Amino acid sequence: MPFHSQIPQPPALPFIGNVTYLDRELPIQGFALLAQQYGEIYLLDILGRKVIVLNTQELANEVSNDAKFRKGVIGSLDEVRYISGDGLFTAREDEPNWAIAHRLLMPAFNTMAVRDMMEDMRDICSQLLLKWERFGPDHVIDPSDDLTRVALDTIALCSMSYRLNSFYTENQPPFAASMTEFLRECYIRSTRPSLVQALMTGTNAKWESDAKFMTDVATRILNERKEKPIEKKDLLNTMLYSKDPKTGQGLSDDTIVKNLLTFLIAGHETSSGLMSFMTYYLIKNPEIMRKLQNEIDEVLGGQPVQYQDLSKMPYLTAVIRETLRLSPTAPMRMVQPLEDTYLANGKYFVKAGASLLVNTWVYHKDPKIWGEDAQEFHPERMLNGKFEALPPQAWQPFGFGIRGCIGRPFAWQEVSLVMASIVQKFDLSFVDPTYNLELKQALTVKPKDLFIRATPRNQAPHFHPTASILKQVPQSSATVSKHARAGALRPMYIFYGSNTGTSEAFAQRIANDAPSYGFAPELGSLDSATGHIPTDGPTFICTASYEGQPADNATRFIDWISNLQSSELRGVHYAVFGCGNSDWTQTYQRIPTLIDETLEQRGGVPLIPRGAGDSSQSDFFDVFDQFTNDLWTTLTKVYSTVQSESQTPAFKVEINSGTDRPTALRQSDAALGRVIENRILTAPGYPVKRHLEFELPKGSTYRAGDYLAILPQNPPRNVRRVLAHFGLSSEHTVTISSVSPTFLPVDRPVSLAEILSGYVELSQPATTHDLRTLIDATTNDAVRADLNELKISYQDLVLSRRISVLDLLEKHPHEIQLDLATYLRMLPPMRIRQYSISSSPLWNAEHATLTVSVLEEESLSEGKIFLGVASNYLSELVPEDRVQMSVRASAAAFKLPEDPEIPLIAYCAGSGLAPLRGFIQERALQKISGRKVGKVLLFFGCRDPEGDYLYSTDDLAEWSKLGVVEVRPAFSSFPERSKGCKHIQDRLWADKEDVVDAFNNKAHSFICGSNQIAKAVRKQSVEILRVFRPDLDQTQAAKELESVLKGRFATDVFD
Ligand SMILES: Cc1cc2nc3c(=O)[nH]c(=O)nc-3n(C[C@H](O)[C@H](O)[C@H](O)COP(=O)(O)OP(=O)(O)OC[C@H]3O[C@@H](n4cnc5c(N)ncnc54)[C@H](O)[C@@H]3O)c2cc1C
Ligand code: HEM
Ligand SMILES: Cc1cc2nc3c(=O)[nH]c(=O)nc-3n(C[C@H](O)[C@H](O)[C@H](O)COP(=O)(O)O)c2cc1C
C-alpha cells in the first residue's frame, strides 16, 4: 500500500525533538492536548526515540492483537525495570521468567482465589472506616492518601500476609512515598538526555535510594517468610514453593523479590486512584451517589458487605466501569508491531518494532463511541446491556490479551468492597464545594488536592463555614456558637446556595441582625444541611439558580430534598428568599421555588411567603429589605423573642494604635495566578478594553469557554475615601469581634486598608435598611428629612442612581455620626467576578487570557466617576502581580462541539468576543496541525473599525487568512463600512443566507455578551425563520426556533 498518509508531528527541535511538548508534571495532559490538536494519531520524537500515539478506539482495537503486536517495555516502563526487572509487569515477553511467573500466578489471581481474600480485604477496609468515623464529620480527609493506605496494606496482606500498618503512620506511608517519588522520576528520566541524566547526581542518588528502600522491604518480607513459614496459600507461598507445570522450574529469590515489588507497584496505585476518582465523581454527581446509596442500602440491609452481595449491585459495577472509562488510572500502554504494518485501513505505515502508545486516557473519550457527552460521567451508559454491546476494546482500562492485568479480579473485589462500605456508612462532601477535578501523575493518575468530609449517615448535620468568595476568607462561626449558646438566644439556622456571593451576603446580613432580634444564628451552605434540617429553631434559606440548576454549594441539598418520599421534614419551620434574574424566563427562581414547595410538601411549615429578588431589576436590594422586615416581625412574634440586651455589643471594631501590618490574609499559593501581560486593545478616546495574560495557579486546567473567577480589590481611590471620612490612615489596624458569624477576620489586628480593599463592597447602592441606620445616626433635622426623602423615593433617588452609603456619608460628613463598626457591618462581602477565558489550552495550557471591558464612566449619581471594582482592578495590574483566581467550568452547552468539523455561528459585541476568541484560536491551532475544521462565522459588533475592532489587525486577521473564521462586523458609528449595518442583528439580517447555509451544515450557534444582544439576535433569528416559514406568527416562530436549535445553541450572558 504505497499511498499512505504522513503521521502528523508537532514541530521538532534539533536533538531534543518534541520533548518540550511533554508535560513533566502531568504527562497525560500534554498528550490529551496534542490529541485535541492533531486528531487520531500523531508522532513525537523524544530525544531521537519516535513514539506514535494512538487516540481512537479504532486504532486501539487494531493494535490489540497478540498475533501482530507485543507489549513494549520502553520509556518509563524500562526505567521501572531498575527494581522490578523481569517481574511480571516490566518483563519483556521473551524473558523466560515472565512465562513461568505468569503460569504460576494466574491461578492465584483467579476469581475463586480472590474470593478467599475477602476477610483480609475487609480487615484493612475496616481500618479506614474506623479512622473516618473516629475523626468525625469536621475532619478534612485527603481521600487519595487514605485510599492509598487501604490499597497498599490490602495487597501486602492478601498477597504476602504482611502487615504494612499504613494506618498507624500519620504521614504518607514511607513505602508509598518512595514509590511515588521513584515512579515520577522514572517518567522524567525517560524524557532526559542520558548525558544530562548522568550529571544529575543528587537526583540519581535519591532515585537509587528510593529503589533500595523498596527492594529492602520486599527482601525483608521474603526473608521473614523463609525464616517463619506459614501454612496460608498466599501468593508468596505460591512463588516460593510451586513449580511451573510446563518447565518444572521454580522462581529464584531474586525473581520473587521483583514480583513482590511488582504487586506492590502495579497493585496499589491503580486501585487507590480508581477509588479516589470514584469518590470525586460520586460527590460531584449527587444524583448518582443517591442511586448508588439506595442500591447499597437495599442489598446490604444495614449489614456489612459480603462476597455474595457484590454481584447483586449492578449500579455499583456501572459506576466503577464509568470511573475507569473517564479516568483510567493506568492511562496508557505501549505496544510494538512484530512486522512492518499499516494502520487505519492502510492509511498509516508503521515499521516493525516501532513504539506505539495506546492512549487509553484519550481514546476512552472517543466521541465516535461515546457521543458528544463523552467527557461526562454517566454510569447509565454501562447498564442494561450497553456495556456488553460496546465496539471491541472501546473500554480497556486493564490492558489487553496475554499482557493484560493479572490483578483485575483482585482490584474489582477490593474496590467494590471498600467503596460500597464507604457509601453505606458516610455522606461525603467536598471541603471546597466548587472543587473541580485536578490531576497528578506518576506512572498512574490520581486526583490532586481533593479534600472531603465524611459524615456518618443519619446523624445531625454539622455546620462548616463555607466561604464562596474563594476559599481563603477566614470565618468565625466558632465564636458565634460560643456566644450564642452562652446567652438566652434561640437557635436560628441560616443556609445559602450561592456561586457569586449575593445570596451568601444576604444570608450574612440576616445572621448579623439575628442577635438583636433574640436569635443565635448558625450559618452554613445549603449542602451542609443535607440529610437534616434542624427543628429546634427557625430556618432561613437564601439561594440562587443557575440555568435552573442549584449553585455549586447547594447541589447535594437539592438532590436530597428532591428524593424525600414522605413527611421527613415535619417540625421544620422555614422561610425562603430567592435571588434570581427574570431574563432566565423559563427557569426564573426555579431553585428557591423548588425548595419552598418541597419543604412544605415534606411536612415543613413556611413562616412567611417566599421572597423573590430579581437582580435584573433595580429594586433587588429593596425587595430583600422588605422581606427581612416581614421575617423579623414574624419570627419575633412566633418565637416570642425580645431584642437582646447583651452588654457586649454584637459587633465591635477596636482601632489599634501603631502601624503593625498584619500577616497577609487570603494568601494561598494554590489560588494565585501571575500576570504576564496587560495591554490595551482600544484606541484613545474609546471605552477601554484590555487583553490580560495570566499564568494560572499551579495545577489549574481549563477548556476554551471556561471562566476565570477573580477575587478583586476595591479601587484605591474608594478605600481612601472611606479612610478620609473616618479620619484614619491606611496604616491603622483594627481588631474586630463579632457575636454573629462574619466574613471579616476577627479577634486579631488587621490593617483597615486591607479590609476595605479586599473584604467588602464599597459601591453597592444603599439599601432602605441602610437609610434607616443613617437616619438613626443623625440628629440634624435637615439631613433626616433629606434621608427620609431618599427612602420614600428610593427607586428613583437611590437605586437607579446607585447612591452608596459612602456617597451619603461624604455628602453629610459632620451631620451623620456613624461609627466605623456600624459602617463595616452595613457592607456586603466582596464578590468574585467571572470573566470568560479568551484563549484555548492548545495555545498554552498553563496560561489563560482575558478580554476585559473596563468600567469607568460618569457615575449615575452626579459629579463622580464610577469605577467598576474588578475591571479596574484588572486594568491596573502589571506583569508579575499576583491575583487570586480560580478556573470555573462554563455551562455545559457553552463549549466547542467534540467534532471540530462542525461549523459555528457566533454573535457578540465588545468583550463578548472573549470566549469566542478562545474557540477560534483552538480551531486555528487544529487547522495548522493538519486537522479539518469547520468555519466560524463571527458576527461582531463595535463602534469603529479603527477604534475598538478588537484583535482585528492581529489574531482575527491571521485566523481569517487561515480560513478558520469569517468576520461579519457591524460598526455602530460607521455603518457604511459594514454593509450599512449598525448592529449585529442588522448584519445577521443582511447575511441571512450565509447563516442559513451554515445552519443547514449542522452549525452550532453561540451568543455572548450583554443580555440585550442575546435578545436582539434571538428576535432577528425569529424573523429570519419567518422568511422561510411565512405561515408562522411570531410566537409560533419563536417556539419553532427553540426546537430546531435545541442542543445546537448556547448563550453566555455577562450582565
Ligand atoms: C459568565 C460571565 C462571563 C463574563 N465574561 C466577561 C468578559 O469576558 N469580559 C468582561 O469584560 N466582562 C465579563 N463579564 C462581566 C464581569 O464579570 C463584570 O460584571 C464586569 O467586569 C463589571 O464588574 P466590575 O467589578 O468592574 O463592576 P462592579 O463594581 O461590579 O459594578 C457593576 C455594577 O455597577 C453598575 N454600574 C454600571 N455603570 C455604572 C455607572 N455609570 N454608575 C453607577 N453604577 C454603574 C452596574 O449596573 C452593575 O450593577 C462576565 C460576566 C459573567 C456573568
Ligand atoms: C484498578 C486497578 C488496576 C488497573 C486499572 C490495572 C491496569 C493494568 C494495565 C493497564 C495493565 C497492562 C499494562 C501494560 O500493558 O503495559 C496491567 C498489568 C498488570 N497488572 Fe494491573 N491494574 C490494576 C490492579 C492491579 C492489581 C490489584 C494487581 C496485583 C494484585 C495488578 C497487577 C498487574 C500485573 C502483575 C500486570 C502485568 C501483567 C503481565 O504483563 O503479565 N494490577 N494492569
Ligand atoms: C450563567 C447564569 C445563569 C443563571 N440562571 C438563572 C436561572 O436559571 N434562574 C434565575 O432565576 N436566575 C438565574 N441567574 C441569575 C442568578 O441566580 C442571580 O444573579 C443571583 O443573584 C446570583 O446569586 P449568587 O451571587 O448568590 O450566586 C443566572 C445567572 C448566571 C450568571
Three-state DSSP state, 213: helix
Q: Which ligand is nearest to the CA of 418?
A: 2
Give the angle 240-242-244 at the CA atoms, nearest 5°.
120
Spacing, Cα 414 to ligand 2 middle (Å): 14
What pLDDT, in 10s, does the model give residues 226-275?
999 988 888 899 999 988 888 888 899 999 999 999 998 888 889 999 99
List the catalytic residue out of 125, 186, 405, 579. 405
Three-state DSSP state, 932: coil
pLDDT at 476: 31
* Spatial contact of 1028 and 1000, defined as CB atoms under 8 Å apart: no
Quote the mean pLDDT of the chain: 88
**Pairwise CA distance, residues 586 & 1045, whole Å:** 16
**Ligand 1 atom 6, closest CA:** 835
Extended strands (E) in 739-845: 749-751, 833-836
Spacing, Cα 548 to ligand 1 middle (Å): 22
670 has a pLDDT exceeding 50 = no
Looking at residue 571, its amino acid is: G
Q: Residue 678: which of 666, 689, 691, 664 has the closest Cα? A: 691
Atom of ligand 2 nearest to the CA of 403: 40
**Pairwise CA distance, residues 167 & 125, whole Å:** 11
Three-state DSSP state, 443: coil
Residue to substitute in 434, 506, 579 for testing ligand 3 pocket (most ligand atoms within 8 angstroms of CB): 579
Average pLDDT over residues 473-497: 57
pLDDT at 519: 92
**Pairwise CA distance, residues 133 & 614, whole Å:** 43
Confidence band of 644 (pLDDT split at 50, 70, 90): low
Atom of ligand 3 nearest to the CA of 543: 26
Where is the binding site for heme, in residues? 405
Calculate helix-pair angle for 913-928, 27-38, nearest 10 degrees.
80
Q: What is the residue-wise DSSP string for 256-321?
A: HHHHHHHHHHHHHHHHHHHHHHHHHHHHH-HHHHHHHHHHHHHHHTTSPP-GGGGGG-HHHHHHHH
Calculate helix-pair angle for 314-326, 253-284, nearest 10 degrees.
100
659 has a pLDDT exceeding 70 = no
Ligand 1 contact, 1052 CB (< 6 A) = yes
Confidence band of 674 (pLDDT split at 50, 70, 90): very high
* Residue linked to cell 498466599: 234
Question: Can you give the C-alpha Rg of the chain in angstroms?
Answer: 32
The pTM of this model reads: 0.80
Q: Which ligand is nearest to the CA of 541?
A: 3
At residue 852, what are phi and psi to the nearest 5 degrees?
A: -120, 135
Ligand 3 contact, 714 CB (< 6 A) = no
Ligand 3 contact, 547 CB (< 6 A) = yes
Find how far residue 803's CA is from the centre of its chain: 37
Q: Give Cβ neighbours of residue 675 (< 8 Å, ≥ 6 apart).
A: 692, 693, 694, 877, 878, 879, 880, 881, 882, 883
Q: Residue 893: which of 702, 1052, 1040 has the closest Cα? A: 1052
Spacing, Cα 1054 to ligand 1 middle (Å): 7
Where is the binding site, in residues? 405
Q: Residue 507: which of 605, 576, 588 has the closest Cα? A: 576
Spacing, Cα 853 to ligand 3 middle (Å): 21
**Ligand 3 atom 30, closest CA:** 546
Residue to substitute in 547, 706, 719, 834 for testing ligand 1 pocket (most ligand atoms within 8 angstroms of CB): 834
Ligand 3 contact, 617 CB (< 6 A) = no
Ligand 2 contact, 267 CB (< 6 A) = yes
What pLDDT, in 10s, does the model give residues 9-47?
998 887 778 877 777 677 788 899 999 999 999 999 987
DSSP state of 770: H
**Pairwise CA distance, residues 770 & 1053, whole Å:** 30
Give the angle 1016-1017-1020 at the CA atoms, nearest 5°.
85
**Ligand 2 atom 21, closest CA:** 405
Q: Residue 556: which of 285, 296, 323 has the closest Cα? A: 285
Q: Residue 624: which of 612, 608, 636 has the closest Cα? A: 612
Q: Is 942 a catalytic residue?
A: no
pLDDT at 486: 39
Q: Is 270 a catalytic residue?
A: yes
Biggest alpha carbon distance in the chain? 107
List the catalytic residue out of 270, 279, 543, 682. 270
CB atoms within 10 A of CB 2: 5
Average pLDDT over residues 367-378: 94
List the catalytic residue out of 213, 349, 387, 398. 398
**Pairwise CA distance, residues 624 & 309, whole Å:** 52
Pairing of strands 965-971, 936-942: parallel
What pLDDT, in 10s, does the model give residues 779-820?
999 999 999 999 999 888 888 888 999 999 999 999 999 999
* Residue linked to cell 550529571: 199
Spacing, Cα 148 to ligand 2 middle (Å): 16
CB atoms within 10 A of CB 602: 17
* Spatial contact of 743 and 665, defined as CB atoms under 8 Å apart: no
